[in-house]
Amino acid sequence: MSQGPKVTLVDSTLRDGSHAKRHQISVEQVVAVSSALDAAGVDVIEVSHGDGLGGASFNYGFALTDEFELIEAAVGAVERAQIAVLLLPGIGVKEDLNRARELGASVVRIATHSTEADIAPSHIALARELGFKTAGFLMMAHMNTPEGLLEQAKIMEEAGAEIVYVTDSAGALTPDAVAARVAALRGGLDAGTEVGIHCHENLSLAIANSLVAVENGARWVDGCTCGLGAGAGNAPTEVLTAVFEKLGIEVNADTFAMLDVADDVVRPIMDRPQLVDRASLILGYAGVYSSFLLHAERAAERFHVSTKDILVEVGKRKAVGGQEDLIIDIAAELAAAQPAPAGA
């Protein structure tokens, strides 16, 4: 039997995948995916608008279904798995946490940019009070140094976070950079605080980076089934399960069951395959928040400019997660700077 570490597997298909689905997820889809993941042994299933509770908006996209309905459906569809929610202070508010808890969500990730943890303590404290298993989620981890990230992680830990994540929102970290950040957190946080890893596939490194993170002490690992998530997608949960099994890293999820969930349940609801193509690779290369991808594609179409040019410019301006409004602004600027198309 396995002798390696035991890892808690978090599947975020119904949260990070919300980006790739333009937040058009139905109750039926949530029931099908969450019950299948539960049966396959996934520990935690995250369900929220892609930008967290309260994310439904002009800026990020309105949702097909109220996210609280989706949370309630997921809670009702599982027997063993815990249902998680995401909240970004500045977008969602504390009332959202109360409501998610009442509906039966029991894990929460409180997310901030990798340098702004001090907007989260009151949300983390409330989450603990409400009885949530509480994680701090340091997004765009490539934009802070390992030492800087540890300082931020300590703010979250002190506020009550039981897990702190290295969140590679842009899929921009290389394995050495993941190792340095995870090792910094593992070495600097209390032994009782777990470290988590959340990877995107923009540089085709999501699985490799997840493994490096586990080697360096991460014990909470995020994936999305079929990789369904923002940008080029996330570490595919079924691949994580298979690779972990081969390496003797213990997970509750069953590899063959996960392959069925992937091919029979999740792939049929995907709008498009998760590809590392010109636009999504640029996210990782230029360090841009992965969920900007579809917004940039839409703006590119509307203003007749290239998605790549928009994303490169977003990267230059050091945009952080949540600044989707900058995309239209930049696209309009790029359009104004280029010669008018013939006949226009």
Partner 1 sequence: MSEKVPCAILGSGNIGTDLMYKLQRSQTLEPTAVIGIDPNSDGLRRAEAAGLETSAEGVDWIVANPDKCRFVFEATSAGAHRANAPKIAAAGLQSIDLTPAKLGPGVVPAVNIEEHWEAADVNMITCGGQATIPMVAAVSEVTPVPYAEIVATIASLSAGPGTRESIDAFTRTTAKGLEEIGGAERGKAIIILNPADPPLIMRDTVFCAISPEADRDAIRASIERMRERVATYVPGYRLRGEPQFEEDRVAIFIEVEGAADYLPAYAGNLDIMTAAAVAVGEELAKLRSREQVPA
Q: Which stretch binds partner 1 (CB under 8 A): 18-26, 90-98, 161-169, 177-185?
A: 90-98
- Judged by phi (left if over 0) then psi (alpha if -120 to 50, else beta), residue 160 lies in left
Q: Is 123 one of the catalytic residues?
A: no
Among 89, 171, 196, 233, binds partner 1 (CB under 8 A): 89
Rounded Cα distance between 47 and 199, Å, is 17
Residues 116, 119, 122, CA angle at the centre, nearest 5°? 145
Among 91, 100, 150, 199, binds partner 1 (CB under 8 A): 91
Measured between its terminal Cα atoms, the distance across the chain in Å is 68
DSSP assignment of 97-120, as one string?
HHHHHHTT--EEEEEEETT-GGGS
Residues 121 to 140: which contact partner 1 by CB under 8 A?
A: 121-122
Residue span 251-290 as binding mask against partner 1, x where in contact by CB under 8 A, dash where not: ----------------------------------------
Among 31, 64, 119, 130, binds partner 1 (CB under 8 A): 119
Q: Which of 243, 246, 232 is nearest to 275 (CA)?
A: 232
Residues 300 to 329: which contact partner 1 by CB under 8 A?
A: 317-326, 328-329
Select 39 or 326, whichever has its Cβ closest to partner 1: 326
- Structure tokens belonging to residue 205: 């490194």
CB of 326 to partner 1, least distance (A): 8
Contact between 57 and partner 1 by CB under 8 A: the answer reads yes
Instruction: List, in order, residues 6 or more apart from 127 with CB less than 8 Å away.
Output: 97, 108, 110, 134, 160
- Alpha helices (runs of H) in 59-205, residue ranges in sequence order: 67-77, 94-102, 121-129, 146-159, 175-188
Among 70, 143, 228, 230, binds partner 1 (CB under 8 A): 143
Contact between 59 and partner 1 by CB under 8 A: the answer reads yes
Contact between 115 and partner 1 by CB under 8 A: the answer reads yes
Among 23, 49, 113, 181, binds partner 1 (CB under 8 A): 113
For the chain, the maximum distance between any two Cα atoms, rounded to a whole number of angstroms, is 70
Given 19, 123, 142, 295, the catalytic residue:
19
Select 238 or 324, whichever has its Cβ closest to partner 1: 324
- Angle subtended by helix axes 146-159 and 121-129, to nearest 10: 40
> Could you list the residues that contact partner 1 (CB under 8 A)?
57-59, 89-91, 93-94, 113, 115-116, 118-119, 121-122, 143, 317-326, 328-329, 332-333, 336
Catalytic residue positions, numbered: 19
